Chain A
Amino acid sequence: MSLLEVAGLQAGYETGQVLFGVDLSVEEDEVVSLLGRNGAGKTTTMHAIVGANVPTVLGGEIRFDGTDLRERRNYQISELGLSLVPEGRRCFRDLTVEENLRLAANHAEDPLSIDDVWDQFPELKDMHDRPSKNMSGGEQQMLAIARSLITNPQLILMDEPCEGLAPLIVRRIESIIKDINGKRDVSVLLVEQNVAVAMAVAERHYVIDEGEIVEELSTEQLRKDEALRQEYLGV
């Protein structure tokens, strides 16, 4: 059984249905990407999985480690070992770096120690008492990832963690994702528009278009299939 199993997922907003049967799965200790253009349904899929206020899930199954997530409230996903690094980072802007991390640790079943996090993110330790609103985009992204990691999850959902960041920072985020997976055996489902980032960190890739998964392929296949990248991803 897969760690995360999504089958026939349909979801939408007041303005209309967006997902028309998404099927995907993530195994233990695996990095998987979900690729697609703007508006293809990537973030909607993420939000449906974690039970966000929007979208409304209309049908299908979402199972995590055997638990039916549709039966769970959004504040009950973290205790199952599922964590979200959301689009736009959503660090608590008036809270310091350390408070952001402490909040996450306080509500986790079996959190990492803050020292474990400092080891992984030495740059965050140096600014531990800075309000997160006074950090750069890259630093905030690291904090958002660290905030997920400290909950000691089995799976992290990351929604475009490299969006709007400078190439050097993007390399750093890539290596963090590889580390999280390599050293801590955390699975990652990565939503990306940036195919290069996805190919650098993930082993398996789903391509979503108009609310449906249209392809599932390995990094090697994705690299070779220029026509597919052109058609669905515009690169």
Chain B
Amino acid sequence: MNEIPLPGSSSRSLSLAEAAIWSVLLLVTVLSAVTRPGLFVDQVLGGLVYGLILVLIALGLSIVLGLLGIVNFAHGALFMLGAYFSYQFMAVWGVSFWIALIAAPLVVGLVGVVIERGVLRYLYDEDPLNGLLATFGLSLMIGEATRAIWGGAPKSVAAPQILSKGMDLGITTVARIRLFTVLVAVIVIAAVYLLIERTDFGLSVRAGVLDREMAEFLGVNMNVRFISMFVLGATIAGLGGVLRGTAVGMDVAMDEQFIILAFVVVVVGGIGSLFGSVVAGLLIGGTAYLTPLYLSTLASITNIEAINVPGIGGLVPYLVMIVVLLVRPRGLFGQEGFLE
């Protein structure tokens, strides 16, 4: 098989066309940052927050796919439940944000236990299509249940005072809840990394991904690990939901909106690579937020208004996916041979 180099890897020299693309990108970045610094910082932070929320969802998806071989379509519903549970805790029961921040994800984890024990465990050795259909059904059921319990209208919760204020950076004002989201997401991602790469538990999980039966012959009870990792993924998705719900509110469409993009992140990052998911999440969040700004900067300096395509931000994640898969079907950090 031909080794396809990573984009930007040092093993090959930059061709003229690539050099041109990179310099144009750099130029537009500098121009955008200089002409509209406030907006630039807003968009960078917006992309970072959006990307990290995607990573929080994609981590669980990637774990479940790698370990259980199941494409868990219900994962976005768990994310949405995180948001609605925090609404239930804070707006209905009047519990503080800080308690809801911990409790809502844990309740989502419990829902994860029910899903794993009630449905998924019967599908481990089945055709992957069965898992996809079953979890798609679950996602519809959870979506309709959410609509029935909390109604179809968008809901929002009030962030605690310390997070609801803005932080004045001089050129722009940044909502503290967004900075808090970045902080929490980074801590969670680092913790998952350490769990998988540095602990004995993580070692047995990695072995189980590579050869489940051999790990069992060596005494690893894989079922216990399957449940733990599924619940961990569900809890993290729920946490993402709480953060997203607190920052921008929630509605019943957030499930599908985010699950599709989280799949894009997993595929772009490379199936089975947690690190790839992190990189891809940031890449997609960043490009989705910066592309509109860059195009509008280009339009204003060239005076060609047609460059400024409205709504391009929503399209960018899919364009990124198409380009990555054309160049490197296994995804940025995927296993050799997967999808190739």
Are A103's CB and B217's CB within 8 A? no
Q: Which one of A52, A107, A147 has the greatest number of beta carbons of chain B within 10 Å? A: A107
Complex formed: what's the CA distance from A37 to B237 in Å?
Answer: 53
Given the interface pairs A92-B210, A94-B210, the reply to whether A75 lies near B203 with Cβ below 8 Å is no
A95 in the interface (beta carbon within 8 A): yes
Report Cα–Cα, A53/B212, bound state, in Å.
11
Q: Give chain A nearest CB distance to B210 CB in angstroms.
A: 5
* A94 CB, nearest partner CB in chain B, Å: 6
Once the chains bind, are A92 and B200 in contact (CB under 8 Å)? no
B135 at the interface (CB under 8 A from A): no
Which residues of A in the span 49-91 have a Cβ within 8 Å of any Cβ on B?
50, 52-53, 73-79, 83-84, 86, 90
Q: Is A78 within 8 A of B219, CB to CB? A: yes
Q: Would A74 and B217 count as touching, CB distance under 8 A? A: yes
Number of interface residues of B (CB under 8 A): 18
Closest A residue by C-beta to B222:
A75
Q: Are A106 and B203 in contact (CB under 8 A)?
A: yes
Interface positions, chain A 140-178, Cβ under 8 Å from B, are 147, 151
Q: Is there an interface contact between B203 and A93, defined as CB atoms closer than 8 Å?
A: no
**B204 contact from A50, A93, A103, Cβ within 8 A:** A103
User: CA of A103 to CA of B215 in the docked complex: distance in angstroms?
Assistant: 8
Instruction: Indicate whether B206 reaches chain A with its CB closer than 8 angstroms.
Output: yes
Report how far A99 CA is from B210 CA in the complex, Å.
13
Q: With both chains docked as a complex, state the minimum distance between the C-beta of B11 and any C-beta of chain A, in angstroms.
A: 18
Q: Measured between C-beta atoms, what is the minimum distance from A110 to chain B in Å?
A: 12
Check A102 for interface membership: any CB of B closer than 8 A: yes
| Contact among B203, B216, B218, B220 with A99 in the assembled complex (CB-CB below 8 Å) | B203
Given B200, B206, B220, which contacts A75 in the complex, CB threshold below 8 Å?
B220
Q: How many of chain A's residues have a CB under 8 angstroms from any CB in B?
A: 27
Mask, B171-208, CB within 8 Å of A = 1, is: 00000000000000000000000000000100110110
| Interface assignment of B213: CB less than 8 Å from any CB of chain A | yes
Q: Is the CB of A90 within 8 A of B204?
A: no
Contact B211–A107 (Cβ < 8 Å): no
Is B214 part of the binding interface, using a Cβ–Cβ cutoff of 8 Å? yes
Residues of A within 8 A of B130 (CB): none
Given contacts A95-B203, A103-B204, contact A52 B220 (CB under 8 A): no
A77 and B204 CA atoms in complex are apart in Å by: 17
Chain A, residue nearest B200 (CB): A106
Contact B218 A95 (CB under 8 A): no
Q: Which B residues touch A92, using CB under 8 A?
A: 206-207, 210-211, 214-215
Least CB distance from A43 to B in Å reads 14
B221 within 8 A of partner (CB): yes
List the A residue with the shortest CB-CB distance to B212.
A53
What residues of chain A have their CB less than 8 Å away from a CB belonging to chain B?
50, 52-53, 73-79, 83-84, 86, 90, 92-95, 99, 102-104, 106-108, 147, 151
Q: Which 5 A-B pairs have the closest CB atoms?
A: A107-B219, A78-B219, A75-B216, A90-B214, A92-B210
- Assuming A74-B217, A106-B203, what are 4 further A-B pairs, CB within 8 angstroms? A75-B219, A75-B220, A75-B222, A92-B206
